[in-house]
Amino acid sequence: MDKKKKIILYVVLYSIAAFVAFVTYYLALPPINVYSVGFWFFLAFVSILGLAPYFLMRPEIRRFGASVRERFLRGYVPNYGKKKKKVNNDGTVEIKIEPRSRIKRPYLFLIIPLVPLVVLMFGGISSATIFNASAYSSVISVTEAEFATDMPQTDKITHIALMDTDTAKIIGNRTLGSLSHVVSQYEVSEDYSQINFMGTPKKVSNLEYAGFFKWIGNRANGVPGYVMVDPIDNTAKYVELSEPIKYVKSGFFGDDLKRRLRFDYPTKILGEPSFELDDEGRAVFIVPCYKPRVSLFGAKDVSEVIIFQPCTGESDIYSLDQTPAWIDEVYNGELACKKYDWKGKLSGGFINSIIGQKDCKVTTDDFGYVILGDDVWYYTGVTSVNSDESNIGFIMTNARTGEYKFYPVIGAEEHSAMAAAEGEVQEKGYIASFPALINASGQPTYIMTLKDEGGLVKLYALVNVQKYSIVATGTTQEKTMEAYEKLLFEEGIIDSLPDVLPGTPSIVITTVVEDVRIITTGGESYVYISAPDESGSNRCLFRAAVGKDESVLFIRVGDTVTLEVAQSQTSGIFDIINWHFE
């Protein structure tokens, strides 16, 4: 082969190799970062691509190729070589097999793709927990806290995200299904995010293109909005944005969210984007950036946070101490549990985590959400590695700051509580959701929903952590709380039943009694009083439990009474707190 043809062939081969390398990077999107496993695999692949044209153009390779081709055409199998017949002077015939051509390999160049593979092996071994148990266990610090102090007594269950993601998907899809102009082109993303919006828990998820051809037909208009699910009252609504979203996970080529983030931040090890709303209700994606805390690849933890605006493509990156307070999720729940497991299992050393397992503890296999102040917290129980039926406490992890608190509350683990709640209504076959934790009447209490086979919430359940035979269910959260407090009173755990939920606003009314009736329901007797309000224009119904103060039985028709009352959240009936006769 003359020199000109050789140069042309080199150019063609290296152009093909460069194109394959670019396509691989465009599809795989590895970070250009020495702390990324994906980067070293990509480097090894590119090294092999880079060496391929050189080896293919070696003279011995080409001669060998020609030899194989010739033998194949003549019917010879290359592995056996070519037979040659020779007649000696004495008339004997000698058969000789010519060995096939040997390739002289330039072994030195093979070191190039081996380097990243050696780094991967070294990084994997040096990052292993067997050599770094102390470093893994020191990634987080955990503060032991007092349950009654940090968890204020629940007056109304409005800070608990009782709905799991599966139920949110069902309700969200039904909401979108009622919008014919949207559902035919878009679908709700399955990646629901738990946020604190306007002081209440919400689950939100953006719309996605319903396939490649729907992206082609709608990319000029973008994604029009998102679905917001209320986990308290089990409702959902579709929210249309004033400016559509351009970058989503279902976009293709330049509209792909992850591809846009990779090209904007080529060296960052990016986590999974989570959809949120900022203080002004604008759509954003929160993207954590990771960095190893142990050796080259071990104990990856969040180091920075990217706030990406999918409508415009603009973004900002923040260090952890500068993260805006309105962000809800920087650390995801899986990472929060994993980091605690490192500490719980490896604090006594790697050998102890395998053999003795002294003082080893782990989180349960799921987590719930609690809204405290402006932050979202993950809740999960902590159990001994040798026990699967009880918890030795639980942890709360701040989803924004990564702060950990441990509460030494011994009691039933979550799955035992779920089974207890399901057993209470076993004839209905309802399935319990993973619970959250509240302070009800000073008692650590699991709260969960009970769903039917279709995934819809049918009942609420409260289960006492320390005595999980105490189970209360109800169709509303308020009724469930009332039933639970009654059980606590009957078991002697609390001294008295509250007249109304703590913190409920009260008003004072002076009125004339028009009717009095005593009704017994659920084993409890109540006095119901019918009387007009102070203006005399509206007739009201007042209620008092006989067991709390039997003097209420002395109220008669025609009496003028002054009542301190609180209005019920569910029935519109006024619950009597105090009263006296005129």
Q: For position 391, what pLDDT does the model report? A: 87
Instruction: Decide: 275 and 204 in contact? Cβ < 8 Å.
Output: yes
Cα-to-chain-centroid distance, residue 290: 17
- Quickly state the pLDDT bin for 497 (edges 50, 70, 90): low
Query: What phi and psi, each to the nearest 5 degrees, are found at residue 580?
Result: -155, 155
Question: Does residue 478 carry a pLDDT above 60?
Answer: yes
What CATH number labels 507-581?
A: 2.40.50.140
Q: How far apart are CA 393 and CA 444, in angstroms?
A: 11
Question: Does residue 100 carry a pLDDT above 70?
Answer: no
- Quickly state the pLDDT bin for 568 (edges 50, 70, 90): low
Lowest mean pLDDT among 32-41, 94-103, 334-343, 547-556: 94-103
Report the candidate in 283, 3, 293 with the shortest Cα–Cα distance to residue 141: 293
Instruction: Read off the DSSP letter of residue 23.
Output: H
Lowest mean pLDDT among 14-28, 86-100, 114-128, 405-419: 86-100
Q: For position 572, what pLDDT does the model report? A: 62
Q: For position 77, what pLDDT does the model report? A: 45
pLDDT tens digit string along 303-320? 999 999 999 999 999 999
Q: For position 554, what pLDDT does the model report? A: 83
Q: Dihedral (C-alpha) 292, 298, 299, 304: value to the nearest 10 degrees? A: 20
Lowest mean pLDDT among 6-15, 171-180, 549-558: 171-180
Q: Is pLDDT larger for residue 228 or for residue 158?
A: 228
Q: How far apart are CA 191 and CA 247, in angstroms?
A: 15
- Quickly state the pLDDT bin for 206 (edges 50, 70, 90): very high
Grouping H, G, I as helix, E, B as strand and the rest as coil, residue 294 is strand
pLDDT tens digit string along 34-63? 999 999 999 999 999 988 887 777 665 555
Q: For position 579, what pLDDT does the model report? A: 79
Q: Supply the mean pLDDT for the chain.
A: 84
Question: Does residue 439 carry a pLDDT above 60?
Answer: yes
Beta bridge partners of 153: 439
Q: For position 518, what pLDDT does the model report? A: 86
- Quickly state the pLDDT bin for 356 (edges 50, 70, 90): confident
Q: For position 569, what pLDDT does the model report? A: 46
Q: Considering the chain, what percentage of its residues have pLDDT values greater than 70?
A: 85
Q: How far apart are CA 515 and CA 431, in angstroms?
A: 44
Say how many Å lie between the first and final Cα of the chain, rounded: 118
Q: Considering the chain, what percentage of its residues have pLDDT values greater than 90?
A: 43
**Burial class of residue 417, CB neighbours in 10 A (0-12, 13-18, 19+):** buried
pLDDT tens digit string along 445-473? 998 889 888 777 888 899 999 888 899 99
pLDDT tens digit string along 509-524? 888 888 888 887 656 6
Q: What is the mean pLDDT of residues 274-296?
A: 94
Lowest mean pLDDT among 134-138, 160-164, 225-229, 248-252: 160-164
pLDDT tens digit string along 187-203? 999 889 999 888 788 89
One-character DSSP codes across 90-138: TS-EEEEEEPPPPP---GGGGHHHHHHHHHHHHHHHHTSHHHHHHHHHT
Q: What is the mean pLDDT of residues 95-114?
A: 62
pLDDT tens digit string along 392-405? 899 999 999 999 99
pLDDT tens digit string along 370-396? 888 788 899 899 998 876 678 889 999
Q: How far is CA 320 from CA 34, 135, 184, 284, 305, in A?
A: 22, 21, 41, 18, 7
Instruction: Decide: 553 and 527 in contact? Cβ < 8 Å.
Output: yes
Lowest mean pLDDT among 104-113, 346-355, 377-386: 104-113
Instruction: Decide: 509 and 535 in contact? Cβ < 8 Å.
Output: no
Question: Does residue 101 carry a pLDDT above 50?
Answer: no
Over its C-alpha atoms, the chain yields an Rg (Å, rounded) of 35
Tokens read off for 512: 């004339």
b/e 334-364 (16+ beta carbons within 10 angstroms → b): ebbbebbbbbbbbbbbbebbeeeeeebbbbb
